[in-house]
Amino acid sequence: MHEMSIAESLVELIEEAGRNQRFLRVRQIRVKLGALGHVEPEALRFCFDAVSQGTIAESAELDLEMVAGEGWCASCSRTVPISERYDLCPVCGQDHVRMTAGDELRLAELEVE
């Protein structure tokens, strides 16, 4: 499953941060999640709970911040909202839109103790 490998790499990142910054417990994890990234938030939560068992991230709260899709339309020379990666421009209707935001998955913040 796609979400499982994402959850695994999140836990790896957190454990690495724990080793470097010497914290023992993570209370909250804030992740920026692009709306166009095809990651199911509930599935990611479920996988994260499973793979974080026995790690410093165990029972941490996963706070997912959704990032809306956005693209640059070469015809309009402006930034437009998009709901799919290859969406047509909602302003001029042409397919000259290059996605600029919406497929990220980034560890934004850790609350630790």
Residue ranges that bind Zn ion, judged by CB under 5 A = 73, 75-76, 89, 91-92
Measured from the CB atom, the residue of 3 and 87 that comes closer to Zn ion is: 87
Measured from the CB atom, the residue of 22 and 98 that comes closer to Zn ion is: 98
Measured from the CB atom, the residue of 26 and 89 that comes closer to Zn ion is: 89
* Gap between the Cα atoms of 38 and 56, Å rounded: 27
* Gap between the Cα atoms of 108 and 18, Å rounded: 15
Which two three-digit tokens encode residue 74?
A: 């070469």
At closest approach, how far in Å is the CB of 78 from Zn ion? 7
